[in-house]
Amino acid sequence: MKTSLLTAAALSLALVGCGPATKVDTAKTATSVADKHAGMAMGGHDDETHAPTMKLALSPNGPLAPGRAQGVTLTLTNIASGKPLGPSDLALAHTKRLHLLIVDGSLTDYQHIHPVVDPAKPGQWRFDFTPLLGRTYKVWADATLPDGTQEYIGAELVAGAEKAPLPSAATVMTAEKDGLKFSLSFSTPLKVGQAAQGSIAIVDTKTGKPFAALQPIMGAFGHIVAFAGNWDSIEHVHPLGEEPKSEGERSGPAINFHIQPEQSGTLKLFAQVRANGRETIVPFTANVAP
Ligand SMILES: [Cu+2]
């Protein structure tokens, strides 16, 4: 496993000069990959796998129900020390200490939430969650340790007994929302273990012209998250291109990223951008050849 990952890393270096995308299977264990964007920007490549070091626990303050906001208490614990982790134990990544990527079993209701710390309860975080569906959700905490090691730590939240249908496998490469049209393409057909560059071109639907006024959102011009169809893994996606240095900066008309899928089959991607002062999330479905 270690060897294959190293090979994959070398391959991705050769192809696009970026680190490996790594499957994380936290239903059982959480693999992690050092995901050093700063290092990447400077040409450094010190990605490597580690055993999971953190554990995630979620406790809703009441029953979760579709369409209703519910407070949830979150504890992130260092497995070795048993110590709960607060903001000072985590590094800033994309302007936040902790990102939650939440998705239901059909991979349709995706939400990106930033928990906050309760000053009265050290070691405890909280967030409000409004599930749209009465199903089980997977919550992936995206946390970066001060040494730059990034981990995805998974846990489940049950919002009802409804069984989620399998994610649709039909390819969806375009999306339209909030006056923008998004078209996804890949430099090469997606294949397990093979690096590819993805690009999402954005057009203003009113004028039909390429849209080049993307605003910074969490220290980037766009965030892309990719879930494998088995619902049990999240793929590493590395944004490419310059990061904004000020709020006034604009970018477009495309956002580019690097991905190296670790799972074959359906791949669901969500792109999150900010334009005209509004945040927009759009879904895509691609397929990864074995
Ligand atoms: Cu986030």
Q: In this predicted model, what pLDDT tens digit does every residue of 228-263 receive, in sequence order?
A: 988 888 887 887 888 888 999 999 999 999 999 999
Domain boundaries, the chain: 9-158, 174-288
Contact criterion met (CB below 8 Å) for 259 and 20: no
| DSSP bridge partners of 196 | 259
Model confidence, pTM: 0.80
* 174-288 has CATH 2.60.40.1930 classification: yes
Sequence-separated (6 or more) residues with CB below 8 Å from residue 6? none
| pLDDT tens digits, 74-97 | 999 999 999 999 999 999 988 899
User: Taking 70 as the threshold, does the pLDDT of residue 13 lie above it?
Assistant: no
Taking the centre of ligand 1 as the mean of its atom positions, its distance from the CA of residue 95, in whole angstroms, is: 8
Taking the centre of ligand 1 as the mean of its atom positions, its distance from the CA of residue 97, in whole angstroms, is: 9
Contact criterion met (CB below 8 Å) for 100 and 69: no
C-alpha separations of 256 from 13, 86, 199, 264, 273 in Å: 17, 32, 4, 22, 12
- Tokens, residue 12: 């991705």
Percent of the chain with pLDDT over 70: 83
Taking the centre of ligand 1 as the mean of its atom positions, its distance from the CA of residue 3, in whole angstroms, is: 31
pLDDT band at 218 (very low <50, low <70, confident <90, very high): confident
| pLDDT tens digits, 125-181 | 999 999 999 999 999 999 999 999 999 999 999 999 999 999 999 999 999 999 999
Taking the centre of ligand 1 as the mean of its atom positions, its distance from the CA of residue 290, in whole angstroms, is: 30
What is the rounded CA–CA span in Å between residue 106 and residue 117?
Answer: 30
C-alpha separations of 165 from 104, 157, 241 in Å: 10, 17, 36
Taking the centre of ligand 1 as the mean of its atom positions, its distance from the CA of residue 172, in whole angstroms, is: 24
Query: Which CATH number is 9-158's, of 3.40.50.300, 1.10.1270.20, 2.60.40.1930, 3.10.105.10?
Result: 2.60.40.1930
Question: Which residues lie near ion ligand 1 (Cβ < 5 Å)?
Answer: 99
What is the rounded CA–CA span in Å between residue 261 and residue 30?
Answer: 17
For 44-73, b/e burial (b = at least 16 CB within 10 A) is ebebebeebbbbbebeeeeebeeeeebebb
Taking the centre of ligand 1 as the mean of its atom positions, its distance from the CA of residue 279, in whole angstroms, is: 13
- For 125-193, give the DSSP string: EEEEE--SSSSEEEEEEEEE-TTSEEEEEEEEEE--SPPPPPPP-S-B-EEEETTEEEEEEESS--BTT
Taking the centre of ligand 1 as the mean of its atom positions, its distance from the CA of residue 129, in whole angstroms, is: 14
Looking at residue 214, the DSSP 8-state letter turns out to be B
